[in-house]
Amino acid sequence: MSSSTTADALNQRLADSGMRATPQREMVYEILLERRDHPTADELFARVKAKLTTISLATVYNCLDALVQCGLVRQVNYEREPSRYCCNLREHAHFFDTESGRIIDVDLPPEYVDRLRQVLPPGFVVHGIELGFRGIAPATLSASSAQ
């Protein structure tokens, strides 16, 4: 049920971008949805391999590229660390907790985003905004998403 609807949605999204659904892509996406904790490709590889034992790391990278390209996944970069992957499609910023290494999603209200771009002089065409905080999160916040 829920799993089949996400599979359908994935199928649709991939098709819209001229790509096919495959067991590997479905599994990578499913595992990414399972815990929304911004894993690296390597970490994801380990989790996926437990269920699809023959998958390779290169395929995980390829699947993630496909998911990013079709707009279902966001690639999150912090400094020069390995990329992390995020299946939260809402407009949000990232808080990088330097103590735990955790990434926390912070929802951004639409009017906040509008105000963000107002800092640009006129004439700039904006295709994307990236807002990141670095610091220490309240210890009590154990989930991977705030607000």
| Residue numbers at the binding site for its own copies (CB under 8 A) | 75, 77, 79-80, 83, 93, 95, 98, 106, 108-109, 112, 115-117, 119-121, 123-138, 140-141, 146-147
CA distances from 24 to 57, 68, 102, 142 (A): 11, 15, 26, 30
Question: Phi/psi of residue 97, each to 5°?
Answer: -80, 110
Two tokens at 102?
């955790």
How far apart are CB 145 and its own copies at their closest, in Å?
Answer: 11
Q: How many residues does the chain have?
A: 147
Which one of DNA, its own copies, none interacts with residue 52, CB within 5 to 8 A by kind?
A: DNA
Question: Scanning residues 84 to 143, which ones bind DNA (CB under 7 A)?
Answer: none
Question: Phi/psi of residue 57, each to 5°?
Answer: -60, -40
Positions in the binding site for DNA (CB under 7 A): 14, 18-20, 22, 24-25, 40-42, 52, 54-59, 61-63, 65-66, 80, 82-83
